[in-house]
Structure 1
Amino acid sequence: MSYRLLSMALLSWPVAAQAETEQLPLLSLLTGLLLLSFIYMIKLKFDLHKLNKQQQKQQANPLGFYSLHDDISGFPNKFFLQQQLDELLKRAPQQQFSLLLIKISQFEQINQLLGHSNSNLILAQIAQRINQQLKDTPEALTFEFRQQLPIRLCHLGGVDFAVWLDSTEQQHLAEYVADNLEKNVPEPMIVHGCAVDYQLHSGIANYPEHGTLLSELSERAYLALQHHSWLQGQSQVFSPRMLNYSSDKLTLMAELRQAIADNQLALYVQPQIDMKSRQVLAGEVFVRWRHPSRGLMAPSSFLALAEQTGVIYPLTQWVVREAVAMIATLEQAGLNSKIAVNISSKDLLQDELVDSLEFLFEKHKVKPALLMLEIKEGALSEAPDKALATIQRLHRLGVELALDDFGTGLSSLAYLRRLPIQYVKVDCSFINDLHKSDMHSAITGAIIDMARNLDLGVIAEGVEEVEVEQKLLRMGCTRGQGFLYSRPFELSGFAVWLKQWQQQPKGPTAP
């Protein structure tokens, strides 16, 4: 008897049996039950055989479930994404799309603390959270449905995930989705009584603007992710300028952020001297980095990169905190000297700069006039109105201001009369050969004359020889800084140095 006939018998038997049950003897009833059991056994054996055939077929098929899904999270993998994109881009080659790359950070610590089995469980749960957050984003590519929930997350492997978005109608959709995921998904997870913290970082590459191949878009989205996670304030979206930063540079900037927290930085100071009275007027500070593997690094090794990548402001905050604390230390020791700090154009664009300085002065009971901020000429070329507004606020606070490296650029000349500065600083490139070059001498003389006419003081940096000092004095410049007086030394020794300097005869050289 075929399976179909047996099934029909199975379906019709209870109805017929109900009508005749009362007339059937007990033996007939038992025979019917045995027949029914036999039919069910045949059906079960058939179903198992069919399921086994399906599994064998699926395992033999290179596009089966396990080859298209991650074995840890169960979510579609990179091959599934590639398969879907091949079909999608054939249908809609002119549409705008975005690849959103998502990375779980701090996962190595989870692995170390909880082991692989527990961390795999957490990884799968985080993936579920991300996908749940995407349920109201119909622009995201849907791979499949599970229990009526759309699966819109792709697991690329490890702790990397991806979402493919149709951004034709909303240009910045991927950024909105990325911000939403970074903000709302990371909530502590409780495992064996421990709260596990993690963060999400994201990077975005747009099709076809940043590439037309998945591999190319993935590389550029990952580069954007690195910038966004390592360099705070950077957008998640790929930009061609990111290609200029090597992995080594990005790593260095990430290490610099950590160096600030780990006290790997040190301040050195170089005195500024009144060349007539030999009195110490101020000390300019320079930051050095005691890198654990690269050794002592000079500012030229990392400051420009820090400014380009947005790390400069936390660095400036640290320098200013140390400088104001040193001013307080000098005052407590009965020593009188200002501290000069270089600040970046990026610093002038920070709204909280003035407020943070005001807090430091109040905390250490320090007069604002004892801090000098040296500003580069180029600081006025980027957002000049905002930079000027910050400079004016600093002036009203009482901070002394100097225009650094004056004469090397032209951007500030138009603003010079409007700037509430007290000093201009002549670049050392003019001072070094002042007594050897008529051109340098003429330029330096012109700067000094212009500054005097504007009622500004002049600071000459790079004074290394007595002949240069004497020529500057004849030109009308009385404030100098350079090796003639002292090489830079650690700021912690500034108080001792000042005491020794005051006890020396009034000569041209320092102790």
Structure 2
Amino acid sequence: MRYLCLGLLFFCTAAQAQQPVSSLQLISLLSGLLLLAFIYLFKLRFDVHKLQQKLATKKNNQLGFYSLHDDISGFPNKFFLQQQLDELLKRAPEQSYSLLLIKISQFDQVNQLLGHSNSNVILAQIAQRINEQLKLTDTALTFEFRQQSAIRLCHLGGVDFAVWLDSTDKQHLAEFVADELEKNVPEPMLVHGCAVEYQLHSGIAHYPQHGTQLSELLERAYLALQHHSWLQGKSQVFSPEMLHFTSDKLSLMAELRQAIGEGQLALYVQPQIDMQSREVLAGEVYVRWRHPSRGLMTPDSFLALAEETGVIYPLTQWVLKEAVAMIAQLAQSQQVSKIAVNISSKDLLHDELIDTLEMLFDKYKVKPQQLMLELKEQALVAEPARAMSMMQRLHRLGVELALDDFGTGFSSLAYLRKLPIQHVKVDCSFIGDLHRSDMHSAITGAIIDMARNLELGVIAEGVEELEVEQKLLRMGCQRGQGFLYSRPFELSGFAVWLKQWYQQNAK
């Protein structure tokens, strides 16, 4: 361009000086100018192309960043984590690692109260807090550095985050880190004068013990997180038993915990009768759940699941409280009757059971002898020594003990002699067809004879016909329970039922 301007200046100067310019000079000058113009245009096009490439590279870099980072928090996303793990596991596949999954709970309320824009800001700030807490965890995988600060947190999307830990030398490292995060990170955040509260819940899956693919580890860590958050006291580490529980079942158990304190549970009772004298000897209670959306639920719908998931003990505590309170109420109305409560194997191994009962007996001024605890033979299988010890403590306390569903288990006569029990209950599967089946009749007769030899009482469960009752009496069984006497009814009506029963059966 500079030379083109000089040529034009020369041409103008010559014209101004009225000097003649030859045709050869003019042609030469114009050729030079054209060449210079061509060179200029070529350079201009090259510069434009170079600028376009630079802009495209910048755009591609931006697209690359956003494809590997969450657009809300700016932290590495799941794809980034997958890339890092692919490289890491190629270099050191023999090491042990832990995937720590972190979920922010109660965040839906933040969205509803403050809107998405504000909640996104809060989400990014919480992510930053979690990452700050991870500064001291050198064994956590570092994804990148920003302003000389290590980024060790991955944002999986929504309110879910992940940390990848090298746990080769520290088996319980992930649990320690999870506990520290749950304890130290959740602090109320002020937004427009509102204090926003939240909690963190975590789940852990170990590589390669629980899986070798990221998708598998995430799935199992999430299952562990559900157990940890919904079932209080459960470890946040995945275990194979968790595979048996669906989200619906876990949600049901979380609702059961709420139901215990919200008055959704009710106790029903079925009397146990002296078949000879017609005296009411006890009433066995059954729990029912008035679920807000599922309706009235029987024990078969939730008790086994409650035992497996660890919700059974708070449920048993509630049942014991209601049962002992009813014993006290009956005593006030000059009516005496025992209340029988079923307890599970988990209850029997719970060290607080004795303390709970002593507190209830003292609070309601009830004698321990007025409470009967029924337990199944399976309750003695898992830890027989501990189970036996607890049964002996209950016996010394004065509580009556009955072995439920007797005849369906495995108890040997030698083992039965050692148990501090006062009664055995013959399973209803034998009683129902007692007068129609010689085999059931023989089994029931053998159980009654054995119990009498051991000086134990026998309770026949499932008595529905008078003919069955008469046959049981001839066999030497005195106590019966079943539809022949009453179907289960609400425990609150037990006192009224007792009065009516004695009026109808007065001799």
TM-score for the superposition, normalised by structure 1: 0.85
**Counterpart in the other structure of 2:227:** 227
Report deviation, 1:347: 0.7
**Counterpart in the other structure of 1:167:** 167
Q: Answer whether contact 2:282 2:340 (CA < 8 A) is retained.
A: yes
**Counterpart in the other structure of 2:123:** 123
Instruction: Spell out, residue by residue over 1:311-342, the C-alpha distance to the aligned partner (whole angstroms, 9 max, x if none).
Output: 11111111111111111111122211111110
Structure 2 residue 419 is the aligned partner of structure 1 residue 428: no
Q: 1:55/1:224 Cα in 2 relative to 1: closer, same or farther (>3 Å)?
A: farther
Report deviation, 1:79: 1.7
Q: Answer whether contact 1:377 1:412 (CA < 8 A) is retained.
A: no
Count of aligned pairs: 458
Q: 1:385/1:412 Cα in 2 relative to 1: closer, same or farther (>3 Å)?
A: farther
Report deviation, 1:68: 2.1
Report deviation, 1:345: 0.2
Q: Answer whether contact 2:271 2:284 (CA < 8 A) is retained.
A: yes
Segments of 5+ residues of structure 1 without an aligned counterpart are 1-49
2: CA distance, partners of 1:263 / 1:51: 72
Instruction: Spell out, residue by residue over 1:227-281, the C-alpha distance to the aligned partner (whole angstroms, 9 max, x if none).
Output: 2222233322222332222222222222222222222111111000011110111
Letter in 1 for 2:218: S
Q: Match of 1:417, SS? A: helix
**Counterpart in the other structure of 2:157:** 157
Q: Match of 1:201, SS? A: strand
Q: Answer whether contact 2:99 2:207 (CA < 8 A) is retained.
A: yes
2: CA distance, partners of 1:321 / 1:403: 22
**Counterpart in the other structure of 1:251:** 251
**Counterpart in the other structure of 2:43:** none
Bigger shift: residues 408-417 or 250-259: 408-417
2: CA distance, partners of 1:86 / 1:383: 44
Q: 1:125/1:484 Cα in 2 relative to 1: closer, same or farther (>3 Å)?
A: same
**Counterpart in the other structure of 1:60:** 60
- TM alignment of 1:360-439, pairs within 5 A: 360-411=360-411, 413-439=413-439
Q: Answer whether contact 2:167 2:173 (CA < 8 A) is retained.
A: yes
Q: 1:187/1:75 Cα in 2 relative to 1: closer, same or farther (>3 Å)?
A: same
**Counterpart in the other structure of 1:356:** 356
Letter in 2 for 1:336: V
**Counterpart in the other structure of 2:268:** 268
**Counterpart in the other structure of 1:487:** 487
Q: Answer whether contact 1:175 1:236 (CA < 8 A) is retained.
A: yes
2: CA distance, partners of 1:315 / 1:237: 25
- TM alignment of 1:445-456, pairs within 5 A: 445-456=445-456
2: CA distance, partners of 1:82 / 1:413: 60
Letter in 1 for 2:117: S
Q: Match of 2:179, SS? A: helix
Q: Answer whether contact 1:253 1:311 (CA < 8 A) is retained.
A: yes
1: CA distance, partners of 2:430 / 2:424: 14
Letter in 1 for 2:65: F
1: CA distance, partners of 2:101 / 2:225: 7
Structure 2 residue 502 is the aligned partner of structure 1 residue 502: yes
Instruction: Spell out, residue by residue over 1:135-171, the C-alpha distance to the aligned partner (whole angstroms, 9 max, x if none).
Output: 1211110112234332111111111010001122222
1: CA distance, partners of 2:452 / 2:180: 56
Letter in 1 for 2:132: Q
- Deviating beyond 6 angstroms after TM superposition, the runs of 4 or more aligned structure 1 residues are 50-55
Q: 1:99/1:444 Cα in 2 relative to 1: closer, same or farther (>3 Å)?
A: same
Letter in 2 for 1:246: T
* Percent identity between the two aligned chains: 81
Letter in 2 for 1:382: A
**Counterpart in the other structure of 1:343:** 343
Bigger shift: residues 132-141 or 118-127: 118-127
**Counterpart in the other structure of 2:283:** 283
**Counterpart in the other structure of 1:458:** 458
**Counterpart in the other structure of 2:36:** none
**Counterpart in the other structure of 1:236:** 236
Higher alpha-carbon Rg: 2
2: CA distance, partners of 1:293 / 1:276: 44
Instruction: Spell out, residue by residue over 1:401-420, the C-alpha distance to the aligned partner (whole angstroms, 9 max, x if none).
Output: 11111111014755322221
Report deviation, 1:438: 1.6
**Counterpart in the other structure of 1:212:** 212
Q: Answer whether contact 1:103 1:159 (CA < 8 A) is retained.
A: yes
Bigger shift: residues 55-64 or 241-250: 55-64
Instruction: Spell out, residue by residue over 1:98-126, the C-alpha distance to the aligned partner (whole angstroms, 9 max, x if none).
Output: 11111111111222233333322332222
TM-score for the superposition, normalised by structure 2: 0.86
1: CA distance, partners of 2:147 / 2:320: 57
Report deviation, 1:52: 12
2: CA distance, partners of 1:55 / 1:319: 72
Q: 1:383/1:277 Cα in 2 relative to 1: closer, same or farther (>3 Å)?
A: same
Q: Answer whether contact 2:205 2:238 (CA < 8 A) is retained.
A: yes
Q: Answer whether contact 1:106 1:198 (CA < 8 A) is retained.
A: yes
1: CA distance, partners of 2:59 / 2:412: 72
Segments of 5+ residues of structure 2 without an aligned counterpart are 1-49
1: CA distance, partners of 2:368 / 2:245: 38
Report deviation, 1:462: 0.5
Q: 1:219/1:55 Cα in 2 relative to 1: closer, same or farther (>3 Å)?
A: farther
Q: Answer whether contact 1:378 1:412 (CA < 8 A) is retained.
A: no
2: CA distance, partners of 1:187 / 1:396: 49
Q: Answer whether contact 1:58 1:64 (CA < 8 A) is retained.
A: no
Q: Match of 2:417, SS? A: coil
Aligned-pair RMSD on alpha carbons? 2.1
Instruction: Spell out, residue by residue over 1:352-398, the C-alpha distance to the aligned partner (whole angstroms, 9 max, x if none).
Output: 11111111111112111111110111000011122222222222222
**Counterpart in the other structure of 1:444:** 444
Instruction: Spell out, residue by residue over 1:407-464, the C-alpha distance to the aligned partner (whole angstroms, 9 max, x if none).
Output: 1101475532222111111111111111111211111111111111211111111011
